[in-house]
């Protein structure tokens, strides 16, 4: 009679162990495109540049701020305990940020021009990851959130108009670091016992001013959106 509990225990263990093995440390690569913008005083900065153009060149200049496209590439590590939907991890990312301004002369004396502030950062997000659902499910939703620490890699201010273009280094007017926060959601599509295809959409909000003190009183903070795809595998 004692063999029945042993058999039952063996069957249960055989079912449980493969599911538990899905949890643990994972390495993943995640990249895609970004729609980047700057808030706070970025509109006022463009308006002030338009006023300077009107004073120096003549005409009746105005400015409209808009988003620019960029990239968001990186790799990450996450760890979660078996049977737990909560994981913790970190990433190393190389991203582009910034914004653009379109300048128009209402008097039509000069052709329109576009300026862009192109920023690239090495970023370190520290993330809480929540992935509810069965570990053996084919598709599971994922939510990520956490702080982001950014290190400036390059900064350029470009201008195009009238068939010409120019570019200048802008790093002396940017702080070397910034702090932000990111939140995102997506899906995890199982591709093997310890592998998955990842699809995520993330928003980033800058918490600190990216401009150096010599740009006072202007303050600008990132307001970006990224669409990312990647691949994860267990270690």
pLDDT truncated to tens, each residue of the chain (235 aa)?
Answer: 344 444 343 433 334 334 334 567 999 999 999 999 999 999 999 999 999 999 988 999 999 999 999 999 999 999 988 778 999 999 999 999 999 999 999 998 999 999 999 999 999 999 999 999 877 789 999 999 999 999 999 999 999 988 888 999 999 999 999 999 999 999 999 998 889 999 999 999 999 999 999 999 999 999 999 999 999 998 7
Q: Which helix (H) or strand (E) holds 164?
A: strand 164-169
**pLDDT of the residue at 23:** 63
**Domains observed in the chain:** 25-234 (2.40.160.20)
- Structure tokens given for 21: 């093995």
The CA distance from 229 to 29, in Å, is 8
Cβ atoms within 10 Å, residue 86: 11
Residue located via tokens 């995520």:
200
**pLDDT of the residue at 16:** 38
- Structure tokens given for 229: 């795809």
């Amino acid at each position: 009679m004692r063999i029945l509990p042993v058999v039952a225990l063996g069957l249960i263990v055989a079912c449980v162990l493969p599911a538990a093995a899905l949890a643990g440390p994972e390495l993943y690569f995640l990249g895609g495109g970004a729609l980047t913008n700057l808030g706070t005083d970025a509109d006022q900065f463009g308006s002030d540049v338009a006023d300077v153009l009107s004073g120096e060149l003549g005409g009746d200049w105005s400015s409209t701020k808009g988003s620019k496209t960029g990239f968001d590439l990186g790799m990450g590590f996450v760890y979660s305990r078996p049977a737990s939907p909560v994981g913790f991890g970190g990433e190393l990312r190389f991203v582009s940020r910034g914004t653009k301004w379109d300048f128009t002369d209402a008097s039509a004396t000069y052709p329109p021009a576009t300026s862009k502030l192109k920023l690239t950062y090495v970023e370190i997000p520290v993330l809480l990851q929540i992935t509810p659902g069965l570990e053996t499910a084919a598709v599971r939703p994922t939510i990520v959130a956490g702080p982001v620490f950014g290190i400036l890699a390059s900064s350029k201010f470009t201008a195009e108009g009238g068939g010409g273009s120019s570019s200048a280094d802008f790093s002396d007017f940017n702080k070397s670091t910034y702090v932000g926060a990111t939140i995102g959601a997506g899906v995890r599509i199982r591709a093997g016992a310890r592998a998955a295809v990842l699809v995520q959409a993330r928003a980033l909000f800058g918490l600190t001013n990216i401009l150096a003190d010599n740009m006072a009183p202007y303050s600008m903070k990132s307001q970006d959106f990224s669409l990312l795809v990647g691949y994860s595998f267990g270690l």
